[in-house]
């Protein structure tokens, strides 16, 4: 074959290969085929607007796409262009709730209808004021090294009408009036404190001075503080999402004394003393640990001391549940032994009973410091102590029999009704984290920084999961934290896999609120998108409904992505025991979710 022919074949082959690459690229961009290892950018998935007084419509064949679908459903653009007449028009399109319906305080599922209540406002203009609130966040410590909690004060809008566990609260100057949905005034000129807690009778409570009261249709009735169900929330949480009275266990407080051992900084001529509860680093002198059955010599305290061992009775057994640690290198068996050494055996030690807080005392040749604090535990209805007051805070038990408690070290732990620890991240062995250059760290579950509606999915389990604030830090001290983020944890301690690149903001009603690049969307436990991040503002779902901000106005969607209230308002309250308040163009609407009254019930 001549050289000319060979050159021609080579050139034709190159041209054909180039054409094949161009053709493949054009077909991929056109969506004709996919490459498994290349993630195709998804189009935003928006909710489907549905204008109906009953929410979703049975048999509606409009669908919401999942994250795996590449095309938007028809009609996804909002079809409610704002006009000054629209807020009042929508309110007037709703009927008033009648005797055949009762206000619904459960999760909205499309079977309920939206009504107006009998209450009507007397104030429309100047309905909005501002209030200074404190928001907490984490930031890197100046100079780096660890995270610290910081705060910022923000001016937020406050509306003169707000729902409070099924009642309508009207702000009138320096006091508040309470109304039933039908418009009956039950409390007037209230100047006390909103507790945001329910009583064991299911009634909302308030506080005047040191006394507690529950609100009824007959007014305020005094109630003992032990009959107020304890939650950490500072908002009107849904009645199905908080503590329950099923187990007959009630929080109580008691002054408790516990001791921590004080070790001294050794002189340079002596080997360092290693606490048996701390892990031994490579190169440390193993002879510094206490031999079995040997009583250590008392050490003169110096100015530099460290509390290293906690003595508190009863000591509960820690159960970690399923492994929920971060993706990191697990320690070897040798390392694990180092970081989980048995605590000091104090059996036979007699500690003094009359002590002063923060004073040191010698017991069996060791130096201990006394700590006096108010601990919390649980009693039954007869007043018998069921769980000792060894916790900093307890929050009541959920329907699944698990209760969140805060330890003295501010660790968020979940216990059962016997006091047994079911989920305790700190009790797990230390791990080595690649991003920390293989430094050994302890993992923590911590409470949320803010207790507003964003904390709704914390403390109690919803659809088998709860949200925790995860952190990791020094395995020697709880004071140094290197990272923190929200995570979703099951009743067995297993963590949910959040989509990469997204931040978990909140969780409720089985749906996660995720954010990315300043936008918010909702993600299901089935690992599909309800709506991808397209909203300017969004909270977690409350009673199966979420207030979202789209194109500068607020609307309300259900867990199918349908608009139950169109996005035409300046303000929409979260649902509270079935009540929803809307405000737009100087017009208030007082709405409720209604469900048919059971036939055996009679009307008043």
pLDDT tens per residue, range 515-544: 999 999 999 999 999 999 999 999 999 999
What backbone phi and psi angles, to 5 degrees, belong to 427? -75, -10
- The two beta strands, 529-535 and 545-550, are unpaired
Instruction: Give the range with max mean pLDDT: 147-151, 157-161, 262-266, 461-465.
Output: 461-465
What is the rounded average pLDDT of the residues 85-89?
90
Which residues touch 438 (CB under 8 Å, ≥6 apart)?
Answer: 329, 432
Locus of tokens 């293989």: 438
Distance CA 494, CA 2 (A): 70
Distance CA 283, CA 288 (A): 12
Q: Would you state the pLDDT for residue 345? A: 60
Q: What is the pLDDT of residues 179-190, one digit of tens each?
A: 999 999 999 999
The lowest-confidence range among 156-160, 292-296, 546-550 is 292-296
Q: Would you state the pLDDT for residue 288? A: 36
Q: Would you state the pLDDT for residue 477? A: 66
Q: What is the pLDDT of residues 449-498, one digit of tens each?
A: 888 898 889 999 999 999 999 988 877 666 667 778 999 999 999 999 99
Distance CA 264, CA 297 (A): 12
Find out whether 458 and 448 touch, Cβ atoms under 8 Å: yes
What backbone phi and psi angles, to 5 degrees, belong to 372? -115, 125
Q: Would you state the pLDDT for residue 344? A: 52
Instruction: Write out the two tokens for 468.
Output: 């925790």
The lowest-confidence range among 133-142, 370-379, 386-395 is 133-142
- The larger pLDDT score, comparing residue 336 to residue 106, is at 106
The whole-model pTM stands at 0.71
Q: What is the pLDDT of residues 97-135, one digit of tens each?
A: 999 999 999 999 999 999 999 998 876 666 777 677 777
Residue 1 has pLDDT above 60, yes or no: yes
Q: Partners of 378 in the beta sheet?
A: 251, 387
The SS3 of residue 485 is strand
Q: What is the pLDDT of residues 210-269, one digit of tens each?
A: 999 999 999 999 999 888 887 788 888 887 777 787 888 988 899 988 888 886 544 443
Q: Would you state the pLDDT for residue 209? A: 94
Query: Within 10 Å of residue 571's Cβ, how many Cβ atoms?
Result: 17
The SS3 of residue 13 is helix
Max CA separation in the chain (angstroms): 109
Q: What is the pLDDT of residues 7-33, one digit of tens each?
A: 777 777 777 777 777 776 655 554 555
Distance CA 52, CA 6 (A): 74
Q: Where are the alpha helices (DSSP H) in 303-349?
A: 333-339
Residue 297 has pLDDT above 70, yes or no: no
DSSP state, 592? E
Q: Partners of 149 in the beta sheet?
A: 138
What is the rounded average pLDDT of the residues 181-206?
94
Share of the chain above pLDDT 70, in %: 70
Residue 84 has pLDDT above 70, yes or no: yes
Q: What is the pLDDT of residues 345-373, one digit of tens each?
A: 666 788 888 888 888 898 888 888 888 88
Q: Would you state the pLDDT for residue 142? A: 63
Q: Would you state the pLDDT for residue 72? A: 33
Of 469, 459, 376, the C-alpha closest to 419 is 376
The SS3 of residue 21 is helix
DSSP state, 209? T
Q: Would you state the pLDDT for residue 273? A: 43
CA angle 530, 532, 533 (to 5 degrees): 130
81 band by pLDDT with thresholds 50, 70 and 90: low
Locus of tokens 């206490």: 290
Q: Would you state the pLDDT for residue 50? A: 40
Which residues touch 392 (CB under 8 Å, ≥6 apart)?
Answer: 373, 375, 376, 406, 407, 408, 410
Q: Would you state the pLDDT for residue 143? A: 55
- The larger pLDDT score, comparing residue 349 to residue 329, is at 349
- The two beta strands, 329-330 and 360-363, are unpaired
Instruction: Write out the two tokens for 183.
Output: 């418009």
* CA distance to 180, 450, 473, per residue, from 239 (Å): 17, 20, 36
Q: Would you state the pLDDT for residue 365? A: 86
Find out whether 543 and 578 touch, Cβ atoms under 8 Å: yes
Q: In what order do the strands lie in the sheet with 412-415?
A: 393-397, 403-406, 412-415, 421-423
The lowest-confidence range among 120-124, 304-308, 437-441 is 304-308
Of 539, 66, 447, the C-alpha closest to 231 is 447
Find out whether 523 and 432 touch, Cβ atoms under 8 Å: no
List, as one string, the DSSP characters of 355-414. Answer: --TT-EEEETTEEEEEEEEEEEEEE-TTS-EEEEEEESEEEEE-TTS-EEEE-TT--EEE
């Amino acid at each position: 074959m001549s050289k000319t022919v060979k050159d021609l074949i080579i050139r034709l082959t190159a041209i054909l290969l180039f054409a094949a690459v161009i053709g493949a690229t054009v077909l991929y961009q056109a969506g004709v085929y996919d490459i498994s290892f290349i993630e195709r950018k998804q189009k935003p998935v928006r909710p489907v607007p549905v204008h109906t007084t009953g929410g979703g419509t049975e048999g509606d064949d409009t669908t919401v796409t999942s994250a795996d679908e590449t095309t938007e459903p028809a009609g996804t653009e909002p079809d409610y262009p704002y006009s000054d007449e629209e807020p009042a028009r929508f309110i007037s399109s709703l009927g008033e709730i009648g005797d055949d319906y009762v206000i619904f305080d459960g999760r909205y599922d499309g079977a309920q209808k939206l009504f107006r209540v009998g209450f009507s406002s007397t104030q429309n203009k100047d309905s909005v004021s501002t209030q200074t609130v404190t928001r907490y966040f984490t930031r890197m410590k100046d100079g780096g090294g660890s995270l610290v909690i910081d705060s910022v004060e923000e001016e937020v809008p406050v509306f003169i009408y707000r729902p409070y566990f099924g009642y309508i609260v009207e702000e009138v100057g320096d006091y508040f009036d309470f109304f039933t949905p039908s418009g009956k005034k039950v409390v007037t000129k209230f100047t006390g404190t909103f507790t945001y807690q329910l009583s064991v009778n299911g009634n909302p409570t308030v506080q005047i001075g040191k006394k507690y009261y529950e609100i009824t249709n007959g007014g305020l009735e005094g109630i003992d503080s032990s009959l107020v169900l304890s939650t950490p929330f500072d908002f009107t949480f849904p009645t199905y999402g908080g503590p329950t009275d099923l187990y007959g266990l009630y929080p109580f407080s008691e002054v408790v004394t516990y001791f921590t051992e004080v070790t001294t900084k050794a002189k340079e001529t002596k080997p360092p003393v290693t606490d048996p509860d701390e892990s031994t680093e490579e190169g440390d002198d193993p002879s510094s640990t206490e031999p079995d059955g040997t009583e250590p010599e008392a050490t003169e305290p110096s100015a530099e001391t460290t509390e290293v061992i906690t003595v508190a009775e009863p000591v509960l057994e820690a159960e970690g549940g399923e492994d929920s640690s971060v993706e990191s290198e697990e320690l070897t068996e040798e390392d694990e032994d180092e970081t989980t050494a048995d605590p000091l055996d104090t059996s036979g030690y007699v500690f003094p009973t009359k002590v002063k807080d923060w004073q040191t005392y010698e017991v069996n040749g060791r130096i201990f410091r006394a700590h006096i604090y108010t601990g919390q535990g649980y009693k039954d209805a007869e007043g018998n102590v069921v769980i000792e007051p060894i916790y900093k805070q307890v929050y009541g038990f959920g329907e699944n029999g698990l209760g969140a408690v805060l330890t003295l070290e501010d660790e968020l732990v979940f216990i059962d009704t016997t006091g047994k620890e079911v989920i305790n991240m700190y009790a797990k062995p230390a791990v080595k984290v690649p991003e920390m250059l293989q430094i050994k760290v302890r993992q923590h579950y911590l409470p949320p920084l803010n207790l507003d509606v964003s904390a709704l999915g914390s403390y109690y389990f919803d659809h088998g999961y709860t949200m925790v604030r995860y952190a990791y830090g020094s395995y020697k001290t709880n004071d140094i934290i290197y990272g923190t983020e929200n995570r979703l944890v099951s009743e067995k301690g297993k963590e949910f896999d959040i989509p990469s690149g997204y931040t978990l903001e909140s969780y409720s009603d089985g749906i996660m609120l995720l954010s990315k690049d300043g936008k918010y969307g909702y993600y299901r436990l089935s690992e599909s998108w309800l709506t991808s991040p397209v909203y300017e503002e969004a909270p977690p779902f409350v009673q199966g409904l979420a207030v979202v901000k789209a194109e500068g106005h607020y609307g309300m969607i259900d867990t199918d992505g349908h608009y139950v209230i169109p996005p035409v308002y300046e303000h929409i309250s979260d649902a509270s025991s079935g009540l929803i308040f809307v405000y737009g163009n100087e017009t208030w609407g007082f709405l409720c979710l209604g469900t048919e009254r059971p036939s055996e019930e009679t009307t008043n």
